[in-house]
Amino acid sequence: MSESKLAGQFFDAAIGLLERVRDEEAARIAEAGSLIADAVAAGNRLFAFGAGHSSLPAQDVVYRAGGLALMNFLAVPGTAGIDVMPATLGSALERVDGLAGAVLDSSPAAHGDVLVIISLSGRNALPVEMAMNARAIGLKVIGVTSVAYATETKSRHVSGTFLKDHCDVVLDSKIAVGDAELSLDGIDAPFAPASTVVTSAIMQAVMAAAAGGLADRGIEPPLLRSGNVDGGHEWNGRVMQEYGDRIFFRH
């Protein structure tokens, strides 16, 4: 089989998943956007969290041209990427009980804020406890996960629950257990994960819905412009000054 055929099959698989999410999750994406718009309108703050590769879609909506300036990354040291050594430590930290509570306690997140938690499996202690603790202190929680894991795997949290069980809104990425879209005779393991493509698209769709929701409320969405277009730096400076008390990635 030619390399180009496999590449094309991956694109087809990713497009199919995107179409499913677009059609099947539309109402919940709109609901998530409304939660975010409500929080912005009320003067509350926005946070996104993900561990390992699930941190990538969370980071993608923080300090992003065309994105909401108020979205902050809720970082858990050692879990936000593969820069930690050894890289396997990040996976281990996702299973540590109590870590999420400690992070939330030392963060600026408070009652009325919104936290988006991204976890493909939703089965590890870190995302489950992050959602549980966040709701306990009055945050609204949006979970982005693959619901399939909750029926085909076992939770690793002592409660036996998954991320999806502790959210105000759950967005299902439709990713199959294992996160690999392709297989081929002669290759023992499945390959070509699509979770980052799909989850990043979900996050941007939610941000778009939130911007529209703010406009519907008569509020100018606090969007950032590209610093590589004329006037971008000046625009962003004004936005950051106006909303500086809700932006935490600058200090």
**pLDDT of 1 higher than 70:** no
Categorize the per-residue pLDDT at 19 as very low, low, confident or very high, splitting at 50, 70 and 90.
very high
**pLDDT of 93 higher than 90:** no
Mean pLDDT (whole number) for 120-130: 94
d(CA 245, CA 233): 19
Categorize the per-residue pLDDT at 76 as very low, low, confident or very high, splitting at 50, 70 and 90.
confident
When mean pLDDT is compared across 89-103, 125-139, 149-163, 185-199, the lowest value belongs to 89-103
- pLDDT of res. 12: 98
Q: For 201-243, how does the pLDDT look when each residue is reduced to its tens digit (9 = 90+)?
A: 999 999 999 999 999 999 999 999 999 999 999 999 999 999 9
- pLDDT of res. 43: 97
Categorize the per-residue pLDDT at 94 as very low, low, confident or very high, splitting at 50, 70 and 90.
confident
d(CA 244, CA 246): 5
CA distances from 20 to 56, 98, 202, 219 (A): 21, 35, 11, 31
- pLDDT of res. 74: 94
Mean pLDDT (whole number) for 100-104: 89
The residue to which tokens 């008569």 are assigned:
218
Categorize the per-residue pLDDT at 3 as very low, low, confident or very high, splitting at 50, 70 and 90.
confident
Q: Which residues contact 82 (CB under 8 A, 6 or more apart)?
A: 90
**pLDDT of 55 higher than 80:** yes
Instruction: Assess whether the previous peptide bond of 108 is cis (omega < 30° from 0).
Output: no
